[in-house]
Amino acid sequence: RLCREKTSKSVYAMKKLKKSEMLRRGQVEHVKAERNLLAEVDSAYIVKLYYSFQDDEFLYLIMEYLPGGDMMTLLMRKDTLTEDEAKFYIAETVLAIESIHKHNYIHRDIKPDNLLLDLSGHLKLSDFGLCKPLDSSNFPNLNEPDYTPGKGAKPLPDNTSRLTNSSAPKRTQQEQLSHWQKNRRMLAYSTVGTPDYIAPEVLLKKGYGMECDWWSLGAIMYEMLVGYPPFYSEDPMSTCRKIVNWRSHLKFPEEAKLSSETKDLISKLLCNVEQRLGTKGAHEIKVCPLPWFYTVHPHFSQLPA
């Protein structure tokens, strides 16, 4: 909700957190940590926390008000972005992620809903665990196939049904886009949430680090340019299985007409942790694929977080 400071008349966004609910969910220490992070991080790409206070019943966080809406709404309105538009927003998201990683913090929930836009159209990362957490207990236990030569499962061939009805016709890009947009907002506010941007190592619950945020960046980049997330399915469980089996499911529709540089960058984000760009730091993304960002940020590698 919005609030106004009486003396300055400045407008802020207020988050009101019920203490009893925080206790019930075991979120007290987590919320404290989030509040401290917001108070410490000083970045143009992170939503600012101005005040925090409490009464007997509630904790109040007075945040920067961003009137430009969020990336989810923008994508629903535009369907897809041009490559130059995506470059601008992805570059600023890289700087936002870099700024929190410098404080040894992992966001874990980067998605279009949490990318807010200010009055000038610049992007700021928000909702550091203060929004509804994804309830992973509703998802199935998942196992990652072993693709080591001579071991375990092999990637499914392209013409093989993958966790879906083999008789189900393959959707065109436009049909998939229409279906995604029809369900997008409902998924965002469901009790389970949407797993579309979560890295496979997080779903597998086998330990993860800051690199999981770079997977989320790749999924968002794909959605910006194609119109829907790379592993979207009609139900969250199928999406989770597709993410874990990403080798068989990461496809680039021909209709999207993505450049080879774009597909290369996405593929280097949606991949194994060991090969994923950003695993050794944001500089890997800021420097290695520099030609992709050059048209909107010629000096991107030198921009501070």
204-217 pLDDT, tens digit each = 988 888 999 999 99
Q: Is the pLDDT of residue 157 over 50?
A: no
Q: In this model, does residue 129 exceed pLDDT 80?
A: no
At 298, is the pLDDT very low, low, confident or very high (cuts 50, 70, 90)?
A: low
pLDDT score recorded for residue 128? 82
- What is the secondary structure of 52-65 as a DSSP string? EEE-SSEEEEEEE-
At 219-238, the pLDDT tens digits run 999 999 999 999 999 888 99
d(CA 256, CA 78): 14
- SS3 of the chain: helix, strand, coil, percent, to 5: 45, 10, 45
The band of 142, judged by pLDDT with boundaries at 50, 70 and 90, is: low
Q: For 127-131, 135-139, 160-164, which range has the lowest pLDDT when averaged over its residues?
A: 160-164
CA distance 90 to 28: 32
d(CA 227, CA 145): 28
- The mean pLDDT value for 4-13 works out to 94
Q: Buried b / exposed e across 15-29, counting CB within 10 Å, b at 16+?
A: bebeeeebeeeebee
Q: What percent of the chain has pLDDT over 90?
A: 56
Predicted local distance difference test score (pLDDT) of residue 25: 85
Read off the DSSP letter of residue 71. H
Mean pLDDT over 25-54 rounds to 86
Model confidence band, residue 146 (pLDDT cutoffs 50, 70, 90):
very low
Instruction: Compute the average pLDDT of residues 175-200.
Output: 71
- For the segment 29-49, the average pLDDT, to the nearest whole number, is 85
Please report which helix (H) or strand (E) contains residue 184, including its range: helix 173-188
Identify the bridge partners of residue 244 per DSSP, sorted by sequence position.
none
What is the pLDDT, as a whole number, of residue 133?
Answer: 35
Higher pLDDT, residue 301 or 14: 14
* Catalytically annotated residue among 70, 109, 113, 127: 109
**How confident is the model at residue 149, as a pLDDT?**
32
213 is catalytic: no
Q: Check pLDDT > 50 for residue 154.
A: no
Over 50: is that where the pLDDT of 11 sits? yes
Residue 89, class by beta-carbon neighbours within 10 Å (0-12 exposed, 13-18 middle, 19+ buried)? buried
- Looking at the domain that runs over 2-64, which CATH code has it been given? 3.30.200.20
pLDDT tens for 233-276 read: 988 899 999 999 999 999 999 999 999 999 999 999 999 999 99
Q: Report residue 36's pLDDT band, with 50, 70 and 90 as the boundaries.
A: confident
Question: What's the pLDDT at 29?
Answer: 76
- Classify 230 as helix, strand or coil: coil
- Residue range 71-302 forms a domain whose CATH class is mainly alpha
* Rounded (10°) CA dihedral 96, 101, 103, 106: 100
User: Is pLDDT of 279 > 80?
Assistant: yes
pLDDT attached to residue 132: 33
Half-sphere exposure of 148 toward its Cβ, with a 13 Å CA cutoff? Answer: 4
Q: What is the mean pLDDT of the chain?
A: 82
Q: Give the chain's count of helices (H) and strands (E).
A: 12, 6
Spatial strand order of the sheet with 2-4 comes to 2-4, 11-18, 58-64, 49-54
Q: What is the pLDDT of residue 206?
A: 80
Where in the chain are the domains?
2-64, 71-302
Residue 155: band (very low, low, confident or very high) from pLDDT cuts 50, 70, 90: very low
